[in-house]
Amino acid sequence: MVTVSELIKTESNKPELFQAGSSACAGCASILALRWALKALGPKTVVIAPASCANVYIGIWPKASSAVPYINMAFAAGASAASGVVAGYEALGKKDINVLTWAGDGGTVDIGIQALSGAIERSTNFIYACYDNEGYMNTGTQRSSSTPKHTKTTTTPFGKGMHKKDIAQIVAAHDIPYVATCVATDPQEIYNIFSEAKQIQGSKFIHILSPCAPGWRFAASKTTELGDLAVKTGFFLLWKQVNGELIVHKRTQKYLDKKKRLPIEAYLSEQGRFGDLNQEQIQDLQNWVDRRCEKLARQL
Amino acid sequence: MSKIKKSEMDKEQTIIMSGNYASAWGAKCSRVKAISAYPITPQTTVVEKLADFVDGGELDARYVKVESEHSVMASLVGSSMTGARSFTATSGQGLLYMTEMLHWVSSSRLPIVTTIASRGIAPPWNIWAEYTDILSIRDCGWIIQFASTHQEIFDSVLMSYKIAENQGVMLPYFIVYGGFTQSHTSKPVRIPPQKEIDAFLPPPPEKGWSHLNLDPENPVTFGNLLMPQQEYLDFRFLIHDSMVKSKKIIQKTIKEFKKSFKRDYSGLAENYKCNDADVVLISYGALAEQSKIAVDELRKEGKKVGLFKLRYIRPFPNEELVKLFNSDVKVIGIADQGTAFGNPTGGPISTEVMSLLRQSNRKIKVLPYVWGLGGRDVTVDEQIRVFHQLIQLKNKNEYPTDDTFQHGTVWMGLKTGA
């Protein structure tokens, strides 16, 4: 695990792989995560980006902010196109190139889940990262199956009726060698996780909660705060499963204790998308958090 | 390294094989590097045979056995972007399922080759020869060639990579043949010595395709959003432009193939006894090959009939057709083994052929046909009757009067009231 001071020392003199020219929204956490993921993976990396914000924020043609090969890909094809890239490199004897699929939650939990499941089943040697901003933000904030319950989106104007799909657990059930969860607002953790994933042969899946200022309706200056609150309230659980072994992050371990955990309202009240929730709805989300924390605690 | 037997390197072999095996052998002898496939009747034995080749060490390639046809084509987009020669085969529903990625391939200008064992589209389920699968995606920027014999399936795979990978073309390529009638019947196929195939079809450039090569040493960003006033329209034009210009490369490749292997595939279309004919049938696929027998029978009776077999529909053989219109021909029948519901004739290719008639000043009568849908038999006798209908039209200006003549098109064998 790299410390912040080590990180500054090792990374500050290296060329930036995610450069100026991006057209991301103010306060975008996803580009922060991609920038630090690329620092960890290094220049011998290719990125496959299925339809998502990442197709737009990479730059409007002919601008491009990526200094590694970056391929815009069809929505459902993030994992399948990456499988082909891996196969092509293997067939041509090209080694030591990291293949990274960088997908949103729609491209992962909805339209891309079949291709993702297939690629993992085939032990494709690649990293699949899902930056999860909990909805179709690029198309104007429609609900996805990763949108939390009671969220107001443009297709759930009175709130979504069901809970968020747990994609990391679904992937973990594939007996994949590496799954990890993290928040996009923690560069050090992103760096550590991608550095670790890079060393492992086979399929790696990284689930990144990515606060989205326009979609979640909070001030762009509050991005990192939101990422932090997601962890402190237990809304987003930090854990990894490495070769079948579950390791819960020490921050989440602390917040599994209900007494130490912040009430969910601390997280919800910061976001316009949870505006006007009644006490019953807030309690419903609190119960969901509590249930998930208890379940994870039992697995320790 | 693949273990190609010394005998295969040096000697020609003749093997009795199915049309599907001819496709798989074509891929093997083209030394494809990446295969991705999903099984669908009647394509299945292509991908089974390829698995034998790869797992048995006879073909040095990566074979990605994916979970859907969408993933097949997405996977090949990925492998082709690394510069690996990439191949797949599919049929019917599978082809339709990969439609989005077909456009992705052509718009990325990737020289992927796919063979199609064509079948009817469901519902109701139908697995037999009919070309509505390929015809319904005919405008997605792929070269489309019909192969009407087993030998032609094999030979076409070799030629297809040479055409598709040509710097002036850089477009994907479909080779199409009928389900079961061709995919599952067996005929002798001559496999040239691998040494000669390698000389005819060298491997792709080591540094990958010049316009798009996924190489961290030379990073490119591909496919970024662009605004309406930027070059989107211009990129689209270049696809059409390359498709039209590919005709020359196709003709050149056919000539080179003839020089290397002594088999002649005539060009974008085959003119069979049309030069002095006043009645000509235009068709494609194996049924067109069979029409030659009907032509020969009628020629014995002194009837001046001919067959014009379309080998390619993308690019479309405009020049060849206009030349035909400017010959002595007075009546043309155009037979589609596929549908285009609600278009001017009900058959996609008959409408396209008719759109070219204005390029000739001659007055030619036309009768469109739809035949053989869902594998419905079309016998030589029935083809002879088609010619008789066309002769009747020429001699007496009489169109058919029975119930099969509907909205200006003959739907051969139509059971009205069904």
Q: Where are the alpha helices (DSSP H) in B262-377?
A: 285-300, 318-325, 348-355
Residue B4 has pLDDT above 80, yes or no: no
CA distance B316 to A40: 51
Going by the DSSP 8-state scheme, the letter that residue A263 receives in this structure is P
A174 touches chain B (CB under 8 A): no
SS3 A25: coil
Strand partners of residue B30: none
Instruction: Write the CB contacts of A269 (distance below 8 Å, at least 6 apart in sequence).
Output: none
Task: Say if residues A132 and A210 touch (Cβ distance below 8 Å).
Answer: yes
Inter-axis angle of helices B380-396 and B285-300, to 10 degrees?
60
C-alpha distances in Å from residue A146, one per residue of A118, A133, A163, B116, B200: 20, 8, 8, 38, 53
Amino acid at the residue A199: Q
Window 112-171 of A, Cβ < 8 Å to B? 114-115, 117-118, 121-122
Residue B21 has pLDDT above 60, yes or no: yes
Burial class (CB in 10 A: 0-12, 13-18, 19+), B287: buried
CA distance B209 to A120: 29
- No. of H helices and E strands in chain A? 12, 8
- Rounded average pLDDT over B225-252: 97
- The rounded Cα A148 to chain-centroid distance in angstroms is 15
A83–B71 C-beta distance less than 8 A? yes
A19 touches chain B (CB under 8 A): no
Residue B1 has pLDDT above 60, yes or no: no
pLDDT classification of B6: cutoffs 50, 70, 90:
confident
Strand partners of residue B176: B116, B146
Give the tens place of pLDDT for each residue, B247-264. 999 999 999 999 999 999
Out of A68, A77, A87, the one facing B101 most closely (by C-beta) is: A77
The residue ranges of every structural domain in chain B are 6-261, 269-411
Out of A44, A60, A121, the one facing B224 most closely (by C-beta) is: A60
Q: Which residues of chain A lie closer than 8 angstroms to B203, CB-CB?
A: none
Out of A61, A62, A91, the one facing B61 most closely (by C-beta) is: A91
- Rounded average pLDDT over B280-297: 97
Residue B2 has pLDDT above 80, yes or no: no
Percent helix, strand, coil in chain B, to 5, is 40, 20, 40
Burial class (CB in 10 A: 0-12, 13-18, 19+), A129: buried
B214–A88 C-beta distance less than 8 A? yes
pLDDT of residue A86: 98
pLDDT of residue B348: 98
- In chain B, what percentage of residues exceed pLDDT 70? 99
C-alpha distances in Å from residue A90, one per residue of A87, A99, A125, B59, B84: 5, 12, 10, 14, 10
Task: Say if residues A68 and B216 touch (Cβ distance below 8 Å).
Answer: yes
pLDDT of residue B7: 83
- In chain B, what percentage of residues exceed pLDDT 90? 97
Nearest CA in chain A to B70: A77
A69–B221 C-beta distance less than 8 A? yes
Q: What tokens does A195 get?
A: 């550095």
Strand stretches in A40-156, DSSP E? 45-50, 70-73, 98-104, 126-132
Q: Which residues of chain A lie closer than 8 angstroms to B64, CB-CB?
A: 83-84, 87, 122
DSSP notation for A176-214: -SEEEEEETT-HHHHHHHHHHHHTSSSEEEEEEE---HH
A55 touches chain B (CB under 8 A): yes
ipTM for the predicted complex comes to 0.96
pLDDT of residue B418: 60
Q: What tokens does A289 get?
A: 């958090």
C-alpha distances in Å from residue B291, one per residue of B23, B201, B275, B278: 24, 33, 16, 16
- Rounded average pLDDT over B342-369: 97
B214–A77 C-beta distance less than 8 A? no
A59–B224 C-beta distance less than 8 A? yes
Q: Do domains B6-261 and B269-411 have the same CATH topology?
A: yes
Going by the DSSP 8-state scheme, the letter that residue B204 receives in this structure is P
CA distance A100 to B221: 14
CA angle, B316 then B319 then B322, to 5°: 110
A57–chain B nearest CA distance, Å: 10
CA distance A103 to A100: 9
Q: B6-261 adopts what CATH topology?
A: Rossmann fold (3.40.50)
- Rounded average pLDDT over B372-388: 97
Of A131, A93, A94, the residue nearest A112 (C-alpha): A131
Instruction: Write the CB contacts of B345 (distance below 8 Å, at least 6 apart in sequence).
Output: B334, B336, B351, B354, B368, B408, B409
CA angle, B84 then B86 then B90, to 5°: 165
C-alpha distances in Å from residue B196, one per residue of A20, A127, B30, B191, B257: 52, 42, 11, 10, 11
Strand partners of residue B310: B269, B284
Instruction: Label residue A234 left, alpha or beta by phi (over 0 means left) and psi (-120 to 50 means alpha).
Output: left
Give the tens place of pLDDT for each residue, A62-78. 889 999 999 999 999 99
Bridging pattern class, strands B113-118 and B365-370: unpaired
Amino acid at the residue B36: S
Q: What tokens does B303 get?
A: 């009837």
B113–chain A nearest CA distance, Å: 15
Going residue by residue through chain A, which has 300 residues, state the pLDDT in tens, using 9 for 90 and above: 888 888 888 888 899 999 988 999 999 999 999 999 999 999 999 999 999 999 999 998 888 999 999 999 999 999 999 999 999 999 999 999 999 999 999 999 999 999 999 999 999 999 999 999 999 999 999 999 999 999 999 999 999 999 999 999 999 999 999 999 999 999 999 999 999 999 999 999 999 999 999 999 999 999 999 999 999 999 999 999 999 999 999 999 999 999 999 999 999 999 999 999 999 999 999 999 999 999 999 998
A58–chain B nearest CA distance, Å: 8
A21 touches chain B (CB under 8 A): no
pLDDT of residue A175: 94
Q: Taking the CA atoms of A292, A293, A297 and A300 in sequence, report the sign of the dihedral they define.
A: positive
A213 touches chain B (CB under 8 A): no
A69–B216 C-beta distance less than 8 A? yes
A80–B81 C-beta distance less than 8 A? no
Nearest CA in chain A to B97: A76
Average model confidence (pLDDT) across chain B: 96
Q: Which residues of chain A lie closer than 8 angstroms to B215, CB-CB?
A: 69
HSE of A234 in the Cβ direction (CA atoms, 13 Å)? 25
Residue B335 has pLDDT above 90, yes or no: yes
Task: Say if residues B274 and B329 touch (Cβ distance below 8 Å).
Answer: yes
Domains in chain A, CATH or no CATH each: 16-299 (3.40.50.970)
A76 touches chain B (CB under 8 A): yes
Q: Which residues of chain A lie closer than 8 angstroms to B225, CB-CB?
A: 55-56, 60-61, 72
Q: Which residues of chain B lie closer than 8 angstroms to A44, CB-CB?
A: 216
How many CB contacts within 8 angstroms connect chain A with chain B? 163
Nearest CA in chain A to B214: A69
- Rounded average pLDDT over B41-68: 98
SS3 A114: helix
Instruction: Write the CB contacts of A239 (distance below 8 Å, at least 6 apart in sequence).
Output: A168, A180, A181, A246, A247, A248, A249, A252, A296
Q: B269-411 adopts what CATH topology?
A: Rossmann fold (3.40.50)
